[in-house]
Amino acid sequence: MITLTLTVNGAQREVTAHPDTPLLWVLRENLKFTGTKYGCGIGQCGACTVHLDGKPTFSCLHAIKDVMGKSVVTIEGLSSNGSHPLQRAWVEEQTPQCGYCQPGQIMRAAGLLKETPKPTRAQIVDYMKTNICRCGSYNRIIAAIERAAKEA
Amino acid sequence: MHLQPSQPLQRREFLKRSGLALGFLASPAGLLRVVDAHACGEEGDIDLNAWVHVSNSENTITVKCPTAEMGQGIYTLIPLLIAEELDADWRTIRVEQAPSDKAFINPDHFNVQGVGGSPVARGAQGYWRVVRLAGAQARAILIANAASVWGVATGECTTEPNNVVHAASGRKLSYMQVAKLDDVKLDAPLLTEKDLKPASQWRLLGKDVQRLDVPLKVNGAAKYGIDVQIPGMLYASILRSPVATLPHPLYGDGAENGPLKVDAAATMQIEGVVKVVELPHAVAVVGTDYWATVLGKRALKVEWKQGSLASQYDSEAKKREWAVIAADRSKQGRAIDNTGNFDAAFKSAAQTLSADYVTDHVHHACMEPFNATASMMHDDLELWAPTQGQTWAQQACAKVTGLTEDKIRVHTTFLGGGFGAKTEQLPNAEAAMLSKIMDKTVKVIWSREDDVKHGAYRPLTAQHMNAALSADGKVTGWSHRLVADSVLLRARKDVWDKNPGIDGAVAVGMTQPYGIPNRHHEYVHQLGGVPVGYWNAVGNGFTIFAVESFIDEIAAKLGKDPLQLRIDMLTDAQGRAVLELVRKMSDWNRKREATALGVGYNHGGRWNCQIAVVVEVSVDRVNGTIKVHNVWAAADPGTAIQPRHLRQQLETGIIWGMSSTLRERVTIKAGVVQQSNFSDYPVLRMDEIPAIHIELLQGALGQSSGAGQIGVAPMAPAIANAVQRLTGARVRAMPMLPKQVRMVIAEANAGPTAV
C-alpha cells in the first residue's frame, strides 16, 4: 500500500491504499464520501461520476496512484447545502426514484452545463447517455437539466 | 396476525413501544441523522402507537415506515396515509425507517414485514388499511386526552390539522401540547374501516406533495446498503462458482456448486487480506481494505464441484425442449381457473389458430449490486441491508447462525433498486456467516459481475396458444399452456410444498377478462436448476406477451381492428374505459407514414390497476432494429394517492417493459451465465427513451392499487403487434433482437406464414 495526498472537495486528504485502487473506492471507503456510487466498475454506467480537475470522469476507471495532486469534487462538494441549480431543479422535478444513480447524473449534468450553459434537448441526451438510470427517470433528468439551465 | 377486511385492529398491535431503534430519519429540510428511540424519553415526546411519534420538543410528528424505500415512494405514501387520518399538518411530518418488528408485518404480503409483489401494491396497498387505522387511532387517543383535560365528552371534540378542538367552548390543544400532558392515556377505541374518512373528505391524498426522500438523493446524503460504515468493520469479496449459484438460505446452501479445493497462498500475501473463508457455496476473502479483498479474490485458485443440475442447463436448448412440451398436451401440468369445455369448442370451431411464444431469462441489474453488513456479538446479530424482506432476512440470518429470529435486528437502508431482486437473502446470510466466523462486523459487497452471473433471473418460458373461432367471428375457445421453472419452489419452498405445481408468481396474467366461454390455462413446471426469481411484474412479463400478442393474431385472422376486438370482448368496464381512452390519446385510427401503432392491455389482476398502452414503432428493415417513438398509456389505479409520482411509476414500468422487449437477455451455457456487466447486458439509455404520454382515470376512488409494475407487461405485445401491423411479420420471442426481427421479416416476405 502507498500513502498519498488528494484534494477532495477543496481539502487535502491523506489516504493509504493499494496503488491500483480505483479512486471510486478510496472516496467511498477511505474518505467516506459515499455519495459517489459503485455501479459497474468498468465505465459503463456513470454512477461513479465525479469531477477530476473540473471534468466529469468515471472514478472507477482511475487508479489512485494516477490522481495524486489532482483535484476531485464529489456530489458532497458540488454545493455546501444542496443549493446548486441542478440540485434544486432535481428536487423541483422530483427526479430521483431509488436515487442511487442520481449523484452521478447530477455530476455529469454539472459538466454539461459548464461546457454548454444552454443545451438543446439533443445536446442533453447526447451528453447524458453515458449514465444509466434503471428506474428510467430519464425524462425527468432532461426536465431538471432544462430547468436548471433556464434558472441558472 | 392476519387481518380480514372487516376485522378491527387489535389493541396489542398499538402498544406503546420503546427500545433501541437505529434508523435513518429523513426530513423535508434534507437532514439525515441516526435516530435513537431512547431519545424519545424527553418530556413531551410520546409514541402514540407503533407507527406515530409526537415530539413536543421538536414540533414534529414522526411516522415509521415499515418497509424499504426503493424508489416506489413509500417513505411519502405511508406518512400521507397516516397524516390523512391523524389530521396532521403535513409540514410537521417526518419519516423514519421502522425496525424489524412484528408490529410492522404486512398482512397482505406473506404475513411478513417486507415489500414485493409490487413496489406500491405490497407497500402502500398492503398497508393501506392498517396504517390509516393506525392514524385514526392515534387521532382518537389525542382527542380522548384533550377531552379528559377539558372534562368534556370526546364526541364534542373534533380536529383540525395538528389540533384537537372543542368548538362549543372555543378551546384548542395542539397535538404537541397533548403529548406534553402529565399522564397521556394510550387506550383507544377499536376502530374499523367505517371509522376512516371517506374519499370526499381527503385533504392530503390525491394531491401531489414533494417526496420526503428526494432532498437526500441529490446531495449524496441518502444511505444505501453499500454505504454502511461501521467503525472497525472488515470487508469481504466472494469468489463464486462459474455456474449460476444463488441458493435461498432457508432451503439450501449451494454446496452442490461449491468449492472442492482452495489454494489461497497468493491471496494471503496481499496486504490487507485477513482471512480466506470457505463457505458452502463460495470462497470469501476477508480483509481490512476493500480493494485488498478484490485483489485477493483475483489471486484465489479454486476448483469447483461439478455435475449439479444447474451445470447441465443450456438456455437455448431449454427453449426448444420446453416449446415441444408446451405443444404436447400429454405433458400435464396444473390448470388455473379453467371454464367451459375447450376441447368441445375446439372440435366444433369453424376455424382454429395456434401460436408458440418463447422468452429468455432477464436480470434485474439494480444499480446497487447486492451487499450486506452484519455484526454478530455473542447471541445477537445486527444486519444493515438494502432488503425488501425484513422478516425473511431475520429468518435467513437465524438459519445460518443458529440464533433465534428475535435475536436478529435488521436496519433497513435505502435500496438502489429492488425490482424483486432484493427479496433475495443470500447476501444477508453471507454477511451473517462471515461476521460469526470473524467475530467482527463484516460488509459483503458483490461485484457487478457477481450480480449479473448469480442473479435471480426471470424464468425462461415456452408458451403454446390455441384459439377456436366460430363462423360468425367469435372466439369460442382459448387454450394457454405455459412451461417454465418455478420461482416459488426456489424462493418460498414451504408454500410450494403445500400445493406443488402451482406458482402464482409465474402463471399470473394468463387469465385476462376476455369473455371467452371455454378457457383452458395450464402451467407445466419444469425444473431447470439455475436460480429464478421475482423480476419486475413477475410472470405477467411473459404471460401477457403471449396473451396480448395472440389476441392480435386472432384479430388479424378475423380481419378485425385489434383494439376494437379487445373492447368487444372485455367483460370489465374499467378495462374498456382505459382502452377507449388510449384509443383517443393515440389517435389510433390515423394512418402514419413509416410507423405503425400496436396495442397491449393488462387487466392488472391482484395489482388492481388497469392499463392499456399504444406504442408507435418504426423498423429498420435492413438491420432489424425496432425504434419506439411514442407510448400512450391510460391507467386506472382506483386511487392515485400521489398522481405525479404514480405517473413516474408507470413510466418506470413502461421503460422496463421496453428494455426487456428490445434487448435484455441472459443466456446460459452449461450453467454459466454468458453476460457479466452492462457492456453485454445493455439496458435502455436516455437516447432510446420515447415520448411517454400518460393519463389516469380514477374509476373507483377509494380503492387502493399498485401501479409500480403494471406498465411492464403490455409493452412487449404492444411492440410486437405494432411491428406486425407495420411489416406483416409476427415476432413471437423476447427479446426482439435485430437478427430475429430481420429473420421474421424475411420469412413474412417469403411466404404467407410468419414464424
Q: pLDDT value at position B27?
A: 33
Q: CA of B224: which chain A residue's CA is closest?
A: A100
Q: Which fold does the domain A85-151 belong to in CATH? A: DNA polymerase; domain 1 (1.10.150)
- CA–CA gap between residue B275 and residue B285 (Å, rounded): 6
Chain B residues in contact with A21 (beta carbon < 8 A): 291
B44-58, B319-333, B351-365, B484-498: segment of lowest average pLDDT: B44-58
Regions of chain A with pLDDT less than 50: none
Is 3.10.20.30 the CATH number for A2-77?
yes
Quote the CA–CA distance of B116 and B83 in Å, as a whole number. 24
Residue A26: CB atoms within 10 Å: 27
Residues B219, A35: C-beta atoms closer than 8 Å: yes
Spatial contact of B184 and B373, defined as CB atoms under 8 Å apart: no
Which three cell numbers, joined as nine digits, stand for B576? 374498456
More confident residue, B678 or B110: B678
Do residue B271 and residue A20 have CB atoms under 8 angstroms apart?
Answer: no
Which residue from B minimizes the CA distance to A106?
B218
User: Rounded to an integer, what is the distance from CA B412 to the centroid of its chain?
Assistant: 16
Q: Provide the shortest C-alpha distance from residue B272 to chain A (in Å).
A: 9
CA distance B110 to B388: 13
pLDDT surpassing 80 at residue B527: yes
Beta strand pairing call for B351-359 and B733-734: parallel
H helices of B492-561, where? 493-498, 504-507, 540-558
A22 contact residues in B (CB cutoff 8 A): 291
Count of Cβ atoms closer than 10 Å to residue B593 Cβ: 5
Which residues on chain A are in Cβ contact (under 8 Å) with B220?
33-36, 74-76, 103
Q: Domains of chain A: which residue ranges?
A: 2-77, 85-151
Residue B417's region, left for phi above 0, alpha for psi from -120 to 50, else beta, is left
A97 touches chain B (CB under 8 A): yes
Q: Where are the alpha helices (DSSP H) in B104-220?
A: 126-150, 175-179
A42/B214 CB distance under 8 A: no
Are the C-beta atoms of B436 and B408 separated by less than 8 Å? no
Q: What is the pLDDT of residues A101-138, one digit of tens each?
A: 999 999 999 999 999 999 999 999 999 999 999 999 99
Minimal Cβ distance to B292: which of A18, A125, A139: A18
Residue B144 binned pLDDT confidence (cut-offs 50, 70, 90) = very high
Distance from CA of A147 to the nearest CA of B (A): 15
| A91/B222 touch (CB, cutoff 8 Å), yes or no | no
Q: Which among A44, A95, A100, A137 is the top mutation candidate for probing chain B, defined by the most B β-carbons within 10 Å of its own β-carbon?
A: A100
B504 within 8 A of B491, measured Cβ to Cβ: no
3-state DSSP assignment of residue A97: coil
What span, in angstroms and rounded, lies between the C-alpha atoms of B712 and B72? 15
Closest CA to B684 of B716, B667, B662: B662
Give burial (CB, 10 Å; 0-12/13-18/19+) of B218.
buried
- Give per-residue pLDDT as tens, B174-198: 999 999 998 899 987 788 889 999 9
What is the Cα gyration radius of chain B?
Answer: 27
Longest CA span, chain B:
89
A23 in Cβ contact with A72 (< 8 Å): yes
- H or E stretch including B242? none
Using the Cβ of A98 and the Cβ atoms of chain B, whether some distance falls under 8 Å is answered with yes
Q: Hey, is the C-beta of A82 within 8 angstroms of any chain B C-beta?
A: yes
Q: Work out the pLDDT band at B750, boundaries 50, 70, 90.
A: confident
Chain A and chain B share a number of CB contacts under 8 A equal to: 179
- Name the residue in chain A with its Cα closest to that of B648: A137
Considering chain B, what percentage of its residues have pLDDT values greater than 70?
91
Q: Is B654 helix (H, G, I), strand (E, B) or coil?
A: helix
Please give the Cα distance from B410 to A126 (Å, whole number): 42
Closest among B241, B236, B273 to B260, alpha carbons compared:
B241
DSSP string, B459-490: PPEEEEEEEEE-TTS-EEEEEEEEEE--HHHH
pLDDT grade, residue B125 (50/70/90)?
low
Tell me if A141 and B686 make a contact (CB, 8 A cut-off).
Answer: yes
Q: How far is A1 from chain B (nearest CA, A)?
A: 7
Angle, in degrees to the nearest 10, between helices B540-558 and B715-727: 30
CA dihedral B314, B317, B320, B323 (to 10 degrees): -30
- On whether the CB atoms of residues B417 and B70 are closer than 8 A, the answer is yes
Contacts of B414 in chain A (CB under 8 A): 98-100
Q: Which residues of A touch B420 (CB under 8 A)?
A: none
pLDDT of B95: 95
- The Cα A59–Cα A51 span in angstroms is 9
Q: Which 3 state secondary structure label does DSSP give B422?
A: helix
pLDDT of residue B501: 96
Spatial separation of the C-alpha atoms in residues B667 and B330, rounded to whole Å: 29
d(CA B503, CA A59): 43
Give the closest of B30, B221, B648 to A97, CB-based. Answer: B648
- Helix, strand, coil percentages (3-state) for chain B, rounded to 5, are 35, 25, 40
Pick among A23, A27, A40, A139 to test the B interface (most B CBs inside 10 A):
A40
Å from A151 to nearest chain B CA?
17
C-beta atoms of A96 and B214 within 8 A: yes
Residues 119-148 of A with CB under 8 A from B: 125-126, 128-129, 131-142
| pLDDT score recorded for residue B13 | 32
Q: Taking CB atoms and an 8 Å cutoff, what residues of chain B touch A90?
A: 214, 217-218
Identity of residue A47: A
CB contact under 8 A, B367 and A17: no
Nearest to A99, CA basis, from B210, B220, B644: B220
List, in order, residues 6 or more apart from B521 with CB less than 8 Å away. Answer: B335, B336, B337, B338, B479, B480, B482, B507, B510, B511
Take residue B339 and report the three cell numbers written for it.
Answer: 371454464
Q: Which residues are registered as beta bridge partners of B599?
A: B614
Instruction: Verify whether the Cβ–Cβ distance B417 to A134 is below 8 Å.
Output: yes
At residue B234 the predicted structure's pLDDT band, cuts being 50, 70 and 90, is very high
pLDDT bin (cut points 50, 70, 90) of residue B607 is confident
B367 vs A25, A29, A101: nearest CB: A101
Question: Least CB-CB distance to B366: which of A25, A86, A134?
Answer: A134
Residue B753's pLDDT band (boundaries 50, 70, 90)? low
Confidence tier at B108 by pLDDT (50, 70, 90): low
Q: Which residues is B694 bridged to in the sheet?
A: B633
Q: Where does residue B472 rank: exposed (0-12), middle (13-18), buried (19+ CB within 10 A)?
A: exposed
Please indicate if any CB of chain B lies within 8 Å of the CB of A14: no
B122 — pLDDT class (breaks 50, 70, 90): very low
Instruction: Determine contact, residues B462/B433, Cβ cutoff 8 Å.
Output: no
Is residue B33 over pLDDT 70? no
ipTM above 0.85, yes or no: yes
Chain centroid offset of residue B189 CA: 35
What integer pLDDT is reported at residue B28 of this predicted model?
Answer: 31
- pLDDT category at B35 given cuts 50, 70, 90 is very low
Q: What is the mean pLDDT of chain B?
A: 91
CB atoms B686 and A125 under 8 Å: yes
User: What pLDDT is attached to residue B585?
Assistant: 98
Query: Does the pLDDT at position B512 exceed 90?
Result: no
Judged against a pLDDT cut of 90, whether residue B9 lies above it is answered with no
* pLDDT one-digit tens code per residue, B237-285: 999 999 999 999 999 999 999 999 999 999 999 999 999 999 999 999 9
Domains of chain B: 11-217 (3.30.365.10), 227-308+370-445 (3.30.365.10), 315-361+457-750 (3.30.365.10)
- Provide mean pLDDT across the span B373-391: 94
Q: Give the minimum alpha-carbon distance from A68 to chain B in angstroms, rounded to a whole number.
A: 18
Q: Which chain A residues in 40-79 lie under 8 Å from chain B, judged by CB atoms?
A: 40-42, 44-45, 47, 74-76, 78-79
pLDDT (0 to 100) of residue B42? 59
Name every residue whose Cβ is closer than 8 Å to that of residue B164 and which is 6 or more positions away in sequence: B142, B143, B146, B147, B157, B158, B172, B173, B174, B175, B178
